[in-house]
Structure 1
Amino acid sequence: MIEAVGLTKHYGRTVAVDNLSFTVKPGRVTGFLGPNGAGKSTTMRMILGLDRPTAGQVLIDGTPYRDLRRPLTTVGALLDAKWVHPNRSARAHLRWLAKSNRLPERRVAEVLDQVGLTKVAGRRAGGFSLGMAQRLGIAAALLGDPKVLLFDEPVNGLDPEGILWIRQFMQGLAAEGRTVLVSSHLLSEMALTAQDLVVIGRGRLIAQSSTAEFVERATENTVRVRSPQLDRLRVLIEQRGHAVREDDGALVVAEATSEQIGEIAGAAGVVLHELSPQRGSLEQAFMQLTGDSVEYRTELGNGLNEIVAGTDQRLVSAGR
């Protein structure tokens, strides 16, 4: 388990993390979300003892990282996939890490096989694609068979097959009872991967909840209805809730459930061709709750808000 209590980090007058407290529980994948510049990377570095907090503390299974005698056996992390000597082979890189924590050399072959790099284990890591480097970083994180795992943007550079693999892999690690914290900007992927969320903005906690609760709290669920008697149905529906007609002729109804709409149509003898609940997305919920926490915002004429934050100019767009 990871426990952050009052975590604060100042860089001069800049407050990167501001009195941040959260808990990451074992047995579940927890997504760590926030706009660029929110303090996610700084927080993960403090968890791993790479940055010293200005105030507060982080405990990993009850112990600060700096007090772990063989840290790779307790916590594994992927923060920078390219953090490897370019002239070392994948196998040599992992052997070096294994020796640093007195791990058996057999673990090198085991983790290379786990991540699918056995056939290229003798190649220089500097020649790896980003996707292969990600797999090597994951292998390094797994080397000590730790109970706590941190991944920062683990699907960067992976093709669709690789993304599916890492999703199932992280869920499998959590199913074994491990604590898994993953930071990502791919919200659609996080919606499929993470059971829980920790969401921050400007270094402060915005929300900590299950993914389903986060989406439900921040978005409005609607019902989509199609019928050959649409005008009659609309009159009946608007006695219960608000209905909006879409370009394809369907009605989107707010403030009503699909069961209620079905009962209304059934009582009036109205034929339905479609009756489907429409759930809010993680992306919509994220944009709703973090809109005040982004660094830069531009309003576009097409009605979409685009958020550009951080030096790497990643885009997170609403309304997809």
Structure 2
Amino acid sequence: MIQLTGLTKRYGERLAVDDLTFTVRPGLVTGFLGPNGAGKTTTMRMILGLDLPTAGTATIDGRAHHELPHPLRTIGSMLEAQAVHPQRTAYKHLLYLAQTNRIPSTRVDEVLHLVGMSEAAGRKAGGFSLGMSQRLGIAAALLGDPPVLLLDEPVNGLDPEGVLWVRTLIRKLATEGRTVLVSSHLMSEMALTADRLVVIGKGRLIAEAEIAEFTEAGAVVLVRTPEATSFAARLELSGAHVKLGDEGELLVSGMTAPDVGRLAAAEGVPLHELAPRRASLEEAFMELTRDAVEYGAAR
């Protein structure tokens, strides 16, 4: 389990992480989401003891990272897959890591096979593609067979087969009872992989919940009617919130589909379509973080 309590990091006048408290539980894949500059990488670095917090704590199974006698046996991580000496072979890179944590050298061959890199074991890391570097980074994270895993953008640079492989692997690791924290900018992938989500923005916690709660919270009722303008006004008067869709449909929140139907019947409004629609994870994420985007495109 990973536990953050009041975790704070300040760089001069800039507050990168602001009083962050949440728990990553075992047996689940927890997606760690936030806009660029939200503080995700800084948070992960503090969990791993690479940055010292200004205040608060980050613990792994009740201990700070520097208190772990053999860290790779407790938490495996991948923050920067290409942070490998370019002249080292894949095998030697993993062997050196294994030796520092008293992990048997036989485990190196096991994880190279697991990530599909047995044939590339003798190749130098400097010649690897981004996808191969990602696989090597995942191998390093799995080297100590740890109960806790922390992966930053693990599918970055992978082809579709590789993405499916990582998704399947992550799900399997969680079903084995491990604690898995994964960050990603790919909302579609998180929707398929994660069981629950932690969303931060500008260093602060925005939401922490099961993934279904995010999409249900952004659910709307889709309405198509030739009297869209007048019916939208009537819906607003009844307490609903109405947005106009890209094709002229009404997207109604704050009112159920049966209530919308009853109102249309009472007003004599013809309906061509009336359907509840759960928001996609991307839509829910954009709605949650719209006020927490540090670097946004001009509109």
Question: So what's the TM-score if we normalise by structure 1?
Answer: 0.80
Give yes or no for contact 2:4–2:20 (8 Å, CA) kept in 1: yes
Instruction: Give the Cα–Cα distance (whole angstroms) in 2 for the partners of residues 246 and 14 of structure 1.
Output: 38
Aligned to 1:168: 168
What secondary structure sits across from 2:290 in the alignment?
Answer: helix
Aligned to 2:220: 221
Task: State the number of aligned residues.
Answer: 291
Aligned to 1:37: 37
Aligned to 2:287: 288
Aligned to 1:24: 24
Give yes or no for contact 1:90–1:121 (8 Å, CA) kept in 2: yes
Aligned to 1:180: 180
Give yes or no for contact 1:224–1:278 (8 Å, CA) kept in 2: no
1:1-320 alignment, distance < 5 Å = 1-217=1-217, 219-223=218-222, 277-300=276-299
Amino acid at match of 1:25: R
Cα deviation per residue 1:36-87 (whole Å; 9 max; x = unaligned)? 1111111000000001111111110011110000000000000000011111
Query: Displaced runs of 4+ in structure 1, greater than 6 A?
Result: 238-253, 258-264, 272-275
Q: Relative contact order (alpha carbons < 8 A, sep ≥ 6): 1 or 2 greater?
A: 2
Gap regions ≥5 residues in structure 2: 264-270
How much has 1:215 moved relative to structure 2? 2.5
Aligned to 1:304: none
How much has 1:282 moved relative to structure 2? 1.3
1:245–1:54 distance in 2 versus 1, CA, 3 Å: closer
How much has 1:286 moved relative to structure 2? 1.3
What secondary structure sits across from 1:19 in the alignment?
Answer: strand
Instruction: Give the Cα–Cα distance (whole angstroms) in 2 for the partners of residues 245 and 59 of structure 1.
Output: 46
1:13–1:130 distance in 2 versus 1, CA, 3 Å: same
Cα deviation per residue 1:187-227 (whole Å; 9 max; x = unaligned)? 1211111111111111111111111112322x1322467xx
How much has 1:285 moved relative to structure 2? 1.4
Instruction: Give the Cα–Cα distance (whole angstroms) in 1 for the partners of residues 248 and 186 of structure 2.
Output: 32
1:118–1:14 distance in 2 versus 1, CA, 3 Å: same
How much has 1:165 moved relative to structure 2? 1.2
Amino acid at match of 2:287: Q
Aligned to 2:268: none
Give yes or no for contact 2:82–2:133 (8 Å, CA) kept in 1: yes
How much has 1:112 moved relative to structure 2? 0.7
Instruction: Give the Cα–Cα distance (whole angstroms) in 1 for the partners of residues 246 and 2 of structure 2.
Output: 48
Give yes or no for contact 1:33–1:183 (8 Å, CA) kept in 2: yes
1:242–1:180 distance in 2 versus 1, CA, 3 Å: closer
Give yes or no for contact 1:147–1:179 (8 Å, CA) kept in 2: yes
Cα deviation per residue 1:220-267 (whole Å; 9 max; x = unaligned)? 322467xxxx779xx99x899899997879886666656788999xxx
RMSD of aligned residue pairs (Cα, Å) = 3.0
Give yes or no for contact 2:131–2:157 (8 Å, CA) kept in 1: yes
How much has 1:287 moved relative to structure 2? 1.4
Give yes or no for contact 2:222–2:273 (8 Å, CA) kept in 1: no
Give yes or no for contact 1:223–1:257 (8 Å, CA) kept in 2: no
Question: So what's the TM-score if we normalise by structure 2?
Answer: 0.86
1:10–1:273 distance in 2 versus 1, CA, 3 Å: closer
Instruction: Give the Cα–Cα distance (whole angstroms) in 2 for the partners of residues 32 and 92 of structure 1.
Output: 31
Cα deviation per residue 1:266-294 (whole Å; 9 max; x = unaligned)? xxxxxx99875421011111111111111
Cα deviation per residue 1:173-193 (whole Å; 9 max; x = unaligned)? 101000000111111211111
1:133–1:224 distance in 2 versus 1, CA, 3 Å: farther
Worse overlay, 289-298 or 29-38: 289-298
Instruction: Give the Cα–Cα distance (whole angstroms) in 1 for the partners of residues 296 and 243 of structure 2.
Output: 29
Instruction: Give the Cα–Cα distance (whole angstroms) in 2 for the partners of residues 246 and 30 of structure 1.
Output: 32
Amino acid at match of 2:278: R
Worse overlay, 238-247 or 41-50: 238-247
Instruction: Give the Cα–Cα distance (whole angstroms) in 1 for the partners of residues 258 and 103 of structure 2.
Output: 58
Amino acid at match of 1:296: Y
1:130–1:274 distance in 2 versus 1, CA, 3 Å: same
Aligned to 1:317: none
Aligned to 1:305: none
Instruction: Give the Cα–Cα distance (whole angstroms) in 1 for the partners of residues 148 and 285 of structure 2.
Output: 26
1:244–1:294 distance in 2 versus 1, CA, 3 Å: closer
Instruction: Give the Cα–Cα distance (whole angstroms) in 2 for the partners of residues 26 and 91 of structure 1.
Output: 30
